[in-house]
Structures are given as structure tokens and as C-alpha cells.
Amino acid sequence: MKILRKKFLLDFCFPKFCLGCYKNCNSYLCFSCFKKITYTGQIINSPLLYVKESIIIADSSDSILNKLIRAYYFQGIKEISIILAELFRVFWQGRNFSEPKHYQLFAFPESRENIYRRGYSANQEIVRLIATHFNYPLLNAEAKEEGLKTSLIVFSIFQIPKKKLMKELLKLPGHKEVYLVFLVAREASQNFTNYL
């Protein structure tokens, strides 16, 4: 009962509104704005060893996804992780794969300062939701079968991972190919293109 009262008070004092059209709809993204998001998936041939594809997911309309990412990454609104994970799911399921593969997920670690300021790891939260939806094991879950060659999906939101950490990750055995997936706003996608 107390939890319901707290939720009612929070919703009353701090109502949720769509970050796209600012409509009071009890969600940070309404359905009409969700339909407006069109993806620009840039697939880059990375010079890094063992990396098959570097995929940059950006929003061609420039504003909605940018606001969602900034609110999630900088303002610490944890509920937006569900929306961003859903956007990733829609994009990932739209890709055509020639053969069924076994995937593992890895979230790039963040600095302790960012996690402390925000209260959670931005990458880890989204990766956990994606793993639950697609039934992909996490890299540290040790769910790999003997002799099974897996494809590793490395996920990062907003931040550019350090190359030193990337090289250490690619030395891990058992992965036949690695996909780098970055969920960024369109304005930041050029930085990732230059990095890769």
C-alpha cells in the first residue's frame, strides 16, 4: 500500500512525458514518436583484428533518439533503458543473417564516477534486457558449450570504448567473429566513424 502511495505521489509531482512531442502520456516515448524513428545503420569494415562488422545505430530524425540517450546517460532516468533496448531489438531483428549463429553479449565497462553519479551502469542495464529478450548469454555467464564457436556482440551506448580494452577483449578465445554495436545519436556518429 505504501509503495502504491509513493508511486502515485511521484507520478503526480513528476509526471512522465514524451521526450519527442512533450505529450503527457505516462511514458518517455509515445507510440506516434516511436513510429517516427527511422534507423541509420552504418556498417563499417573495421581495421581491428577479428572484428567482422562495426554497426552504428543512429536516428535519421536527429532529435528524439538524441533526447532519449542524453536523458538516460546523463540525467540517470533508468526507465529509458527499456525503450532503448526495444529500439535495439527492432533494429537487430530487421537485419538479415545468412545462417543461425550463437551470440554472446558484452557490455563495455564504464568509469566508477559515471556509475556512482548515475546510480547504474548504462551499458549493463541495456545488455541485460537484450540478453533476456533474445536469450543470449552474457560473456561472464560462462554459458558457452564445449567446442562451440560463438559470435560476440560488444555493446556501448554514447561513449567511445578505449582501444586497449578492445584489444584485450578480442584476445578472448572461443569467438569466431565480433560485432561492435554502438547506439548513438546521429550527431555523434561521425566521431565513432573516425574512431573505427
pLDDT of 147 reads: 41
- Residue ranges of the chain assigned to CATH 3.40.50: 37-195
- To the nearest 5 percent, what fractions of the chain are helix, strand and coil? 40, 20, 40
Give the residue ranges of DSSP H helices in 74-174.
Answer: 80-93, 112-118, 122-134, 163-170
Mind listing the pLDDT tens digit for each residue in 4-46?
A: 555 556 555 667 888 888 888 888 888 888 888 766 655 555 5
Q: What top-level class would CATH report for the domain 37-195?
A: alpha beta
Q: Bridge-partner residues for 38, per DSSP? A: none
CA angle 4, 31, 130 (to 5 degrees): 75
For range 178-191, the mean pLDDT: 60
Backbone angles phi, psi at 33, to 5 degrees: -75, -35
Q: Bridge-partner residues for 55, per DSSP? A: 43, 181
The model's confidence at residue 2, banded by pLDDT at 50, 70 and 90, is low
Cβ atoms of 155 and 130 closer than 8 Å: yes
Per the structure block, which three cell numbers stand in for 128?
A: 541485460
Rounded to whole angstroms, the Cα distance separating 28 from 22 reads 9
Mind listing the pLDDT tens digit for each residue in 111-164?
A: 888 888 888 888 888 888 888 888 887 775 444 444 445 666 777 776 655 666
Per the structure block, which three cell numbers stand in for 77?
A: 532516468
